[in-house]
Structures are given as C-alpha cells and as structure tokens.
Structure 1
C-alpha cells in the first residue's frame, strides 16, 4: 500500500512511500496523476481544491488553500495555511465502547507502595534547590554521592579526549579519525542501596528574580515531584532570602499530602553558616535518610495504579497514524482498567478542541478546557505569535505542514475514552481516566509538568528522534517509523513502524508497548533514556512557549 486516507471525509492522502512525479495512483476508483514528487510522510490532494477552500485530514479542518490546487498536488507551507473550525460549548455526550481488558484485568507490576496509596514504578531520592543560587551546592552533593553510591555513569568520552591528547602530543593527528568510543557504562551493579533507583538533582534557573507567581508555581511543581509515587523523600536547599520560600513549598505539599507521609530534609545556607557546614549537614542527613528509604521493597500491584503521561516530540508525518494511535490504545486500556492517563501540550490540541470538549464527562471540565485553550492562544497572539507557529522546521520537513495537522495527529495519543478531568499547570491528577493537563508543546517543559502532576511512567512518541528523559518518571520512547528505530537504537525502546508497513496493527502494537510498560514499571527493564542518564527538567514560567 502506497497511500492512506485517514478519514473517509479527508481530501488528502498520506504518502506511505515516496511517490514519483506523474505517477498514477488510484483511490476509490478515481485516477490521480501526481503533479510533482511526493516524499513519504507528506500529503497530496485527491480532488481539485479551490482558493480559500478547506483541507481536511483526520476528518477535521487542518488548513486552507492559498491558491487553486489540482488533484494530485503536494500540499506545502507555500500553498496551504493553518486553519481550524473553532470551538464552543459541549455539544453532546460521549458514547464510549471500552476495549476488551480481560487479558489485563488480573495482570500486575512490582512497584513501591506509598503510605498514601499511590504506587511507584521507581524509588528515587530528590535533592532540590529552591533557588538557582544553590545549584552549585547541589552539584557538589551530586559529585559526592553518585560515584560512591554506584549511581554515576562512566563517561567514555573522557577516554576519547585522553587518546586525542596523546596523539596530539606525539604528532599523530591523522589517527584521530580512526578512534572509537565505548558505550556509556552503567554502575548500577555497584549500588550500595539496592532498593533505591537513584538520587536525582533538580537544578534550575528560577526561585528568585522573576515574578512571585513564577516562584509559587515552582514550589507547586516541586511539591508534585515530592508527592509523585516514584519519590521516597527529598533534601531541599535554600539560600534564605529568595522568593521561593520553604513555607510556600510546605503549603503546596500539604494540599497533596495532608499527613506529611514523606521525609523532608531542609537546610538554609544563610542560617547554617559556612558552605562547608551546609554541605556536610546535607550529605550526612541525606545518607541517613537513604538508609531508611532503602528499606522499602517492590510488591505486587494492579495496573490501575499506573499513571501514564502521553507525550510526543520530534514528530513526523507518520506519528499521527502509527505511534500516536498505538499509545492512544494503551490510554484506553489503562483507563478501562481504572488507571490514569495524562494528555498535555495544549498548543498541539489546536483544531481538535471541540472533539475534546465533547468528550469531557461534565460541563465544568469542558468549560475549564475551553477557557485554558483560549487564554493560552490569546497570550501567544499578544506577543506576536500564535499556535499556527508551533510546527518546528523538522516537523514541516517531515510532513506536518500546519499546527492543525500536527495537533490532529498528536491528539490521537489520548485514544477515544471520556475525559475525566482538566488540570491547569502543576495541578495533580486524582481522578481515574484520561486527564488533560495544560502545558506547552515544548517536550521537556511538558514531560517536566506531567511528572509533577503524578505520572509514574511517560510514553514518548517520536518520528525524528529525541533524547529527552525525566529525572523521576521513566520515559519510554516509541518510534513512528522503523528507519528511525534502526538509525537511533540507543534512544528508541519500541518501534511502531510496523503499523506503516502493515506488519503490526494499532491494537497489537499497543499491547506490545503495554507489556514493555509492565516490565519497566516492575524494574525489569531500564529505558534507553535512563541508560543514557537523561534527566531533563525545565519548569514552565507560564510565559508563551509553544
């Protein structure tokens, strides 16, 4: 099969392979002669489309013709523009047929049970600076702990530099091109604390100097990270005079955990005195806390204790028809089992708002989603931007011509289930089912937010490849195409490209990914992003970020 019509109402086809200029394609008995070369992942018209008429894909409006388009014309940024149908109030009640979950109803994973009833897929200790002034001290603590406790990674590139230095000193520069690099070595077999997956250090550039709202939001995000079931406790460093005060963090954490079930170590540099006194206290008290955190062991848990973040980044023209729908099937399975899933990236829901509004279980959630989307869009417009400027050069090059095309495919990660809740940035997931979380489309800002809202696993689809990870929530990378999985096997966990070739169905690929999730959640499989020590953490300062 060379082409795909995603929805019966679409007036474009997706090229599954390269299609040559003047090649004849038959669709529903109609002969189409291509007007130019059509690269795989791109789209071309199946009928004549006049100036100003709509481009339909996924059954929704995704663009508007800037000129007359003959049948067989490749759509590009030069001949179509971003366009959506808009949105309003909730128009209908969703009628959802849940997938068959019999084979998973009694399945389980081995997780860390917390006092508040949550279950972690990992067991981490956090070291957090409330303000960027403490980043250096956090880095010193990192250097003190990681290698000695077996959490550090051997850096093979140091040896590469050492070899180049030697060749340079001996006048052998011609041999540099022939040097090879070993793989990054994982020292986890040498871990002192067998039940602690790692110590994570969340350095950042906030806490002071911005608005008070930024600092309050940062504290709310940290509270979510501490409350996340993958976290055992935290060491918190403060300078003392910054906007992000420990009291604010405590207040935010109390809203999530009124019983204060997790241990916190708090140290303020302006009270402790010398840097040496601060660091010595932090290291000694953290070490003693790690001894206690190591006493918890993995126990069996049902799959309804999973909270799955749904993310995409470095997307291509196949993302919306392979990896994203497969993840959507997982979302439906998890919600049917009583678990939670999180769909974020609000700029990448542009054009499918009405569908999502109609899927909300109640009017309050529908109105909250509409208000958040409108406010976000207005903020982007006010600074001379807009959701239409969301697609990256890489997205466009690989077939995502407008934000509406990108969004319609990105939304497929949310499956078809009802939406149980709508959350603003830093709000924590509490309701089983599919949850919408307001975040930017920026990969790291979005994954950072989902972990702060309770995700204990994140699924990350990609068509172009990206090394993004998260400090506390294992990130499983899923490629939309097999070429990427073969080219970048060091970052891809699961290949969904078989959906494009016809070797896999969306259902079978989704179930394959779910088995992988269970392995990761049980500590039996380490994700590629964890192996590469990808600990990306970028708080959103609530400015315009697409």
Structure 2
C-alpha cells in the first residue's frame, strides 16, 4: 500500500504529502498521527508541529524557511505563512567522510563511443557550425538549409503534411519518415548553432562566449567545426583561438574559419565554406564507435520544471548515480548555483581542497550580489510552476536540487566556461535557467546531460544527448514525447533509489552507445543560449 506522506529527514518539522489529502483526514507517519487541517495537494508540505512567527522551517535536515504567521500542526505551508530563509555560511567547518558504494558490477562495463586523440570519448560524432557574432546568424541559417537538405534528404514532416492536407482540403495520411535512413553519412551528425552575442555588450561577455565556443570544440562529441566571423566584432577570431589553445594546446580537430569582411561577396564566402566543410565532414565520417570504459562518461546534472517530488525521487536517483560514477572513476558536474542556496555548508565541507571551498563561497557570494544589484535575489528563484507544485522557497528548492550531487567529495569548483579537469564530482557556476545551464555544462565537457523534471521541460542540446528524467509517473504518462526515464516508482514505493539508479545507468550506457536516441534528439531540440552576465552597450 502506498504511503500517504513521508518525512524526508528525521529532524524535519514538515511532512510531504505523497497524494492529495483532505481536511479532517488522519495520516500516520512513522507512528505519529496528523490531522490534516486544510486540503493539501500531493507534493506540498504540512507542519509536523505548532509553529509561531519566526520559527524555523526544517526540511532535508536543513533550514529552508521561517514562519511569518502562526502555523498549526497538520496545516499546509504556503507562500503566505512561510518565507525563504537559509543558513549563513562563512567557511569550511569540517571534513566529511565518504564510503564509496560497491561498483564491482560496473567496473568492466563499456559503452560504444568515439575516441578522440586527447583521450576523451564522445557519445556522438558531430560536425558543428557556429558564428562568432550574431551578424553571421543568417549565413549559418543558409548553410543549415543547404546541408540538411542535401545530406539528410529531408522530407516533409508530419506537421507539414498536416498543413498541406488542410490547405488542399484533403485527407492526406500523415506518415512519419525515418530520417536516419536518408543520411548521406552514417557516422557523423551536422549541427548548427546561432546566438545573440559576440558584440554590442561588454568585452567580458564576448570573451566568455569565446571560451564557451572553444569548450564546444573541445567537447569529445564534436569532430570538428566551421566557424563564421564578420571581422569587426568584439569576439575576434584570435580571442577564440587563444581560448581554444588554453584548454586544448595540442588540438588536432579540424577547424574551418571564414571572415566575411575578407571574403568578398556572400556567395563567394558560402561557396568556400560549403566546399571546405563538405570535405572535412567526409573525413570525420570515417570515425567509428569503439568500446570505452564507462569511466569516460562526463555526466552533467541538471533539473528544470521541478516539483515537490523532484528532491525525493529523480534528484536522489541522480545523486546515487553520481556516487557510482565517482567510485568508478568517471566524472559528474553539478550546476545551477542559485539552486544550491541553503546547502552551501554541506558542499563546502565536502570540498577536498580548502581553496575550492573558498572559491565556491566566493562564486556564490558574487553571483548573488549581481542578482541583488539587478533588483532581485536568490529568493525569487522558484518559478510559478515550482511554487504551484510544492517548492515554495528557494532554500527548499535548493535542498532538493542538491540531491543530484549525491554524497561524494567535491573534487573541483569551476566558474562558467571553465573546462573539467578532474574526475569525480565537480561544481560548475551556472544560472538555474534550463537552456543556459545545459549550454554551459556541454561547454565544460559533459558528453551527456541528465535532466530531471517534475513538470516537463522540452529542451535539448546540439551536440550532447539530454536525458529527461521524470520525478513522477503522472508526468511520464502525460508527456511521453519528452520523457526518457521515469523515477515515479520511488514515490509509490515499488522501487528503491539504488534500484532506480542502476536502471538509469543501464539506460545511459545505451544512449551513450547510440543504441537509443533521447526524446530531445528525436524532436530536434538543439537549444543553445550562452549566459550573458553583463549589459548591452
């Protein structure tokens, strides 16, 4: 029989409803009976004790808010009676111990990947087109149309066929085509990204964009790149080259760069780009998948469209998986710094190096200061959807979001655009924004991104598979076209977190080997939004 409610941590003074609870209903949690005073929706919390104004709200064993109205035992907590509050962290207070999980069953497991000369292994093989400045977006779009039509022999989509039937007032049967069978090259994908940066803002944003794009070229999923430059923009070609040389001084990947202001007419430039890129893509197609240990996986950990179950099912599953990867010798990257507000002490204490602990706190402090300077604050992080589904304070959201990082030591702390250097758990400074975060994770070396969601978020990435993981079965059944993996059986008590993590790792191996395409790949969700920290000038 499914439980009606749970306490996540024995020290908590709130209880999570696992199903809708009616006023007057009696709920037994760990031998204690609670009378539900007001209708409480699934995913929301009710108080485990009488609280007065100023009392602390504890969940996941940490401070996540304070009462700003009296709250009775059994009463639902809301944005009206609770406000955000988190503990202040000044320094590392202790060094936490960690016992790695048993990974004997995973030690010899492999996936079929694309081996690069620098030792990295890709989960896909992509030739990437991108501009250094938004002025070149139109030319990138022209190249996209040319290459996709000729290399993929694209046929009308089901949506085009639907419109065609409406225009012609016919009953045209909508048949989905298998586009993979039409590809000229079987071992290479051709992807295109555009952006709104590279000029017009502060120099630091242009330089950061250069580092981000260099990270994409460095990413093991990328075989090579075609780069378009106007010529007069802030993000000069040399800035991009210097950024790539800093992280990949022995780069062997082919890079084709054209500068429009030195290339004559648009037609002349495009003709050269098409000829040079085609020859390079043909060479990149010769690379084939070969076995690689799963320790070569670098998994980005992210959440978006979170709900009150995310911190109980999907995120802890990623946490267990992160611990498994660390024990195996692989790497994971935990991002979204605004969603680590309130759990800083735990993460600081888990830092292996003292300098990383100091750096993490400074990055958090600087990030929050910039948000405050813009007239907001981390307490404004929960979205209307988060609040509607039970995450009513930023610290509460953060406490659940941080579960994605498991319990292993923090091996390194990275600022935005820094490329991963060490195996184990890494912290990466990014916003909580879904696409900006995914974009940053890939630029820092993730060759797969694991994205948990409780409400449903349709996003993907041009070069890396994004695995969507549902926190609840209702979402997985309602939006099967975007969800890849469901952890809802944890909520119903059918499976444990450990069992679910093992199943998820098996699924990731299939995705990394090219045996399964993610829903984001099928839907061609190739989102790319760089984090812009400055202002336009």
Same fold (TM over 0.5): yes
Map of 2:107 onto structure 1: 105
In 1, Cα distance between the equivalents of 2:211 and 2:176?
A: 35
SS of match in other structure, 1:208: coil
Which of 193, 205, 210 is residue 185 of structure 2 equivalent to? 193
In 2, Cα distance between the equivalents of 1:511 and 1:49?
A: 40
Map of 1:420 onto structure 2: 411
In 1, Cα distance between the equivalents of 2:200 and 2:172?
A: 45
Map of 1:441 onto structure 2: 432
Map of 1:481 onto structure 2: 472
Which of 226, 233, 247 is residue 256 of structure 1 equivalent to? 247
Count of equivalent residues: 533
- 1:33 Cα shift? 1.1
Q: 1:333 to 1:154 in 2, by over 3 A?
A: farther
SS of match in other structure, 1:416: coil
SS of match in other structure, 1:321: coil
In 1, Cα distance between the equivalents of 2:431 and 2:155?
A: 31
Q: Is the Cα–Cα contact under 8 Å of residues 165 and 172 in structure 2 kept in the other structure? A: no
Q: Is the Cα–Cα contact under 8 Å of residues 156 and 181 in structure 1 kept in the other structure? A: no
User: Does the alignment pair 1:136 with 2:127?
Assistant: no
Uncovered stretches (5+) of structure 2, i.e. residues with no partner? none
Map of 1:347 onto structure 2: 338
1:172-183 pair list within 5 angstroms = 182=174
In 2, Cα distance between the equivalents of 1:31 and 1:322?
A: 24
Which of 70, 95, 98 is residue 97 of structure 2 equivalent to? 95
- 1:506 Cα shift? 0.3
SS of match in other structure, 1:354: helix
User: Does the alignment pair 1:26 with 2:28?
Assistant: yes
1:185-334 pair list within 5 angstroms = 185-196=177-188, 198-334=189-325
- 1:18 Cα shift? 0.6
Which of 45, 70, 73 is residue 71 of structure 1 equivalent to? 73
In 2, Cα distance between the equivalents of 1:516 and 1:154?
A: 31
In 1, Cα distance between the equivalents of 2:148 and 2:264?
A: 25
Q: Is the Cα–Cα contact under 8 Å of residues 152 and 186 in structure 1 kept in the other structure? A: no
- 1:155 Cα shift? 2.2
Q: 1:444 to 1:82 in 2, by over 3 A?
A: same
Q: 1:535 to 1:186 in 2, by over 3 A?
A: farther
SS of match in other structure, 1:375: helix
- 1:286 Cα shift? 0.3
In 2, Cα distance between the equivalents of 1:151 and 1:516?
A: 30
Q: Is the Cα–Cα contact under 8 Å of residues 55 and 62 in structure 1 kept in the other structure? A: yes
SS of match in other structure, 2:273: helix
- 1:478 Cα shift? 0.5
User: Does the alignment pair 1:542 with 2:529?
Assistant: no
Map of 1:118 onto structure 2: 120
Q: 1:151 to 1:42 in 2, by over 3 A?
A: farther
Q: Is the Cα–Cα contact under 8 Å of residues 466 and 491 in structure 1 kept in the other structure? A: yes
SS of match in other structure, 1:320: coil
- 1:183 Cα shift? 7.1
In 2, Cα distance between the equivalents of 1:336 and 1:296?
A: 30
Structure 1 length-normalised TM: 0.96
In 2, Cα distance between the equivalents of 1:38 and 1:516?
A: 35
Map of 1:379 onto structure 2: 370
Q: 1:151 to 1:93 in 2, by over 3 A?
A: farther
Map of 1:174 onto structure 2: none
- 1:186 Cα shift? 3.9
1:2-13 pair list within 5 angstroms = 2-13=4-15
Q: 1:181 to 1:509 in 2, by over 3 A?
A: farther
Deviations 1:84-131 (A, max 9, x none): 111121111121011110000000001111000000000000101111
In 2, Cα distance between the equivalents of 1:447 and 1:528?
A: 16
Q: 1:302 to 1:151 in 2, by over 3 A?
A: farther
In 2, Cα distance between the equivalents of 1:181 and 1:10?
A: 57
Map of 1:47 onto structure 2: 49
SS of match in other structure, 2:34: strand
Q: CA RMSD in A?
A: 1.4
In 2, Cα distance between the equivalents of 1:153 and 1:488?
A: 26
In 1, Cα distance between the equivalents of 2:175 and 2:520?
A: 14
Q: Is the Cα–Cα contact under 8 Å of residues 184 and 532 in structure 1 kept in the other structure? A: no
- 1:166 Cα shift? 2.8
Q: 1:154 to 1:11 in 2, by over 3 A?
A: farther
Uncovered stretches (5+) of structure 1, i.e. residues with no partner? 171-178
Task: Return 29-38 or 152-161, whichever deviates more.
Answer: 152-161
SS of match in other structure, 1:319: coil
Task: Return 85-94 or 334-343, whichever deviates more.
Answer: 85-94
Q: 1:431 to 1:212 in 2, by over 3 A?
A: same
Q: Is the Cα–Cα contact under 8 Å of residues 50 and 68 in structure 1 kept in the other structure? A: yes
